Structure 1
Amino acid sequence: MTWQSGHRADDKTFLVTGANAGIGYFAAEQLAATGATVILGCRDTSKADLAMQAIRARVEGARLRQVPLNLADLSTLPATVDALGVDSLDAVVLNAGIMLSGPERRVSPQGHELMFATNHLGHFALVAHLTPVLAAGSRVITVGSFAARSERLDLADLDSKHDYQPKPSYGRSKLAQMLFAFELDRRLRASGATIASIVVHPGGALDALTPARPPLFARTPAQRLRGLPANLVLHGKDAGAHPIVRAVLDTDITGGQLWGPRVFGLRGRPHQETPHPHMTDLDTAAGLWAASSARTGVDPFSVRQSP
């Protein structure tokens, strides 16, 4: 039994980025079960097809669509928004992301470090392009990460030109997402908009604890057995999607909040958390916003609330 069981959203339309795998897939599946129209934003259209096939096998009458989405290439985003073909969106879930492990620094088509470009800049620009279709009362849900807790942003080296290491650079890209999301909500409030920007994180979500969804992905008995000890402190990606889904649907959740799993922030039912101070720092957020706008050429909202 999940929080959204019995909750209906038949008249709503939601966009989930990176919905063809992992937490994004389960967010799309769970949202589809509410009767909403769910648009899967995916880089690989064949994987998006498999994801929709898997959802339809479990959700009778699921209303699904897909649009091609390559967050790493900023030049493609206007076409993606045009392909949505909707007059309004009720929520966008900023979930897609990459985590590189190789020692070599990679860059996007626009020359930015690839994780920062994909995880943060692409979503920053996507929100800007989506502004005309975000309905009154809609929600922007940003999926953060535990990895952001131990990192700090260097505004002079956002692209990790001088200090590239895969794990820290990934953590900084997720911190940038969270800083952006909190700043977005401040600017929305200052502009008088009714759109809410909410931050969530999935806790410790493991493949080994995640139920299979053929033909998209499977889990062998051996993988299941290996994951059982971790079940005491972690959970699967299906449970990791619960904070996302609740933030989309629960009208008691308001902009500027952070939600994650209840048990040590690692597993369990969603609950509200207090963000770490460096995730909401006004000066860092303002500097990041200005740098992101300069890099992408767009600006979701120009109003900044005075401290």
Structure 2
Amino acid sequence: MTWQSGLRADGKTFLVTGANAGIGYFAAEQLAASGATVVLGCRDTGKAELAMRVIRERVEGARLRRVRLDLSDLSSLPATVDALGVDSLDAVVLNAGILLSGPERRVSPQGHELMFATNHLGHFALVAHLAPMLTAAVGSRVITVGSFAARSERLDLSDLQSEHDYRSKRSYGRSKLAQMLFGFELDRRLRARGSATASIVVHPGGALDALTPARPPLFTPTTAQRLRALPANIVLHGKHSGAHPIVRAVLDTEITSGQLWGPRVFGLRGQPHHETPHPHMTDPDTAAKLWTAGSALTGVDPFDRATSAP
């Protein structure tokens, strides 16, 4: 079975974070073709509306909704979940993320380092708020989108938010590693409780804008950009292809909880396949300590609805 095999998801509802651009957009577009209702969770509602318009131009009968979602602001998440207006949710794709390039360390409204707050803490808290809806859906799934960059990073549990040594690219890689550790730890805790919800970790490989098909007015690469990127096509691919592991993890019921999926060719390009994660991505001790820290920093826990939001 491959992701292209026309798998249907009529009657199901999927939430994709960061769905107005890049890999998140293509995941939403491809999932819309399955017949499911796809909710685009985006910080900018205008960009979400534009993305929905583009998807409808390409997917006949697309069932789409949007909610405003700002993962960097933990206090906003309960209202976002309420705005979903559903009793059950079949899958959430934890895709949204930011990569800051400047040398200055920036912080979220709650004072957390901004990449760690957006890429990890916001998703951790979002899953906690969504837990009742995921539990209510038979065979629901949490799809955590990691990054190839996480392979070369290691968490510093004594400096999770880069307060003492901030380097933007390293902090980004560590935030994505934190997300992958969370996805595997979520699987362990779901299995320990006998839950039917699955936690699957994916990564898009090396996905370049210049190798991505145009979606005007969202994105239109120039001829010069495409020509310059042609040599990279040997080892990398576009963001439409980077979305394929996500879509397969959502739709393919043969994929089971706790698995890692990414591109077949060196983990950088090609069709989705089942990978063996690097040990530092699944280390139970590190993941448990990260989970404890995440719960303390966000004030919520996916398995404890009694905790209070910050």
* Interval containing the TM-score (normalised by the shorter chain): over 0.9
2:41 matches 1:41: yes
2:55 matches 1:63: no
The SS at the match of 1:140 is strand
Alignment check: 8 A CA contact 2:23 2:243 kept: yes
Query: d(CA) in 2 for partners of 1:168 and 1:223?
Result: 27
- Runs of 4+ in structure 1 off by over 3 angstroms are none
> 2:241 is matched by which residue type in structure 1?
A
Q: Paired residue for 2:25?
A: 25
2:161 corresponds to which of 156, 159, 162 = 159
Query: d(CA) in 1 for partners of 2:175 and 2:41?
Result: 20
Alignment check: 8 A CA contact 1:16 1:40 kept: yes
CA offset digits 1:38-79 (Å, max 9, x no partner): 000000011101100110010011000000000000000000
Q: Paired residue for 1:263?
A: 265
Query: d(CA) in 2 for partners of 1:210 and 1:190?
Result: 41
Q: CA RMSD in A?
A: 0.9
2:302 matches 1:287: no
The SS at the match of 2:220 is coil
1:254 corresponds to which of 256, 261, 271 = 256
Alignment of 1:75-154 (within 5 A): 75-134=75-134, 135-154=137-156
Query: d(CA) in 1 for partners of 2:165 and 2:101?
Result: 15
Shift of 1:26: 0.2
Alignment check: 8 A CA contact 2:7 2:252 kept: no
Query: d(CA) in 2 for partners of 1:63 and 1:300?
Result: 28
Q: Paired residue for 1:305?
A: none
Shift of 1:82: 0.2
1:204 corresponds to which of 206, 212, 215 = 206
Shift of 1:5: 4.5
Shift of 1:3: 2.2
The SS at the match of 1:15 is strand
Query: d(CA) in 1 for partners of 2:92 and 2:149?
Result: 22
TM-score relative to the length of structure 2: 0.96
Q: Paired residue for 2:308?
A: none
Q: Paired residue for 2:307?
A: none
What are the ranges of 5 or more consecutive residues in structure 2 without an aligned counterpart?
305-310
CA offset digits 1:11-59 (Å, max 9, x no partner): 1110000000000000000000011100000000111011001100100
2:215 matches 1:228: no
> 2:220 is matched by which residue type in structure 1?
A
Shift of 1:112: 0.5
Query: d(CA) in 2 for partners of 1:113 and 1:266?
Result: 28
Q: Paired residue for 2:54?
A: 54
2:246 corresponds to which of 241, 244, 247 = 244
Percentage of matched positions with identical amino acids = 85
Query: d(CA) in 2 for partners of 1:115 and 1:144?
Result: 13
Alignment check: 8 A CA contact 1:243 1:261 kept: yes
Instruction: Decide which moves more: 225-234 or 193-202.
Output: 225-234
Query: d(CA) in 1 for partners of 2:6 and 2:153?
Result: 39
The total of aligned residue pairs comes to 301
Alignment check: 8 A CA contact 1:4 1:245 kept: no
What are the ranges of 5 or more consecutive residues in structure 1 without an aligned counterpart?
303-307
> 1:291 is matched by which residue type in structure 2?
A
Q: Paired residue for 2:193?
A: 191
Alignment check: 8 A CA contact 1:205 1:239 kept: yes
Query: d(CA) in 2 for partners of 1:3 and 1:193?
Result: 25
Shift of 1:217: 1.3
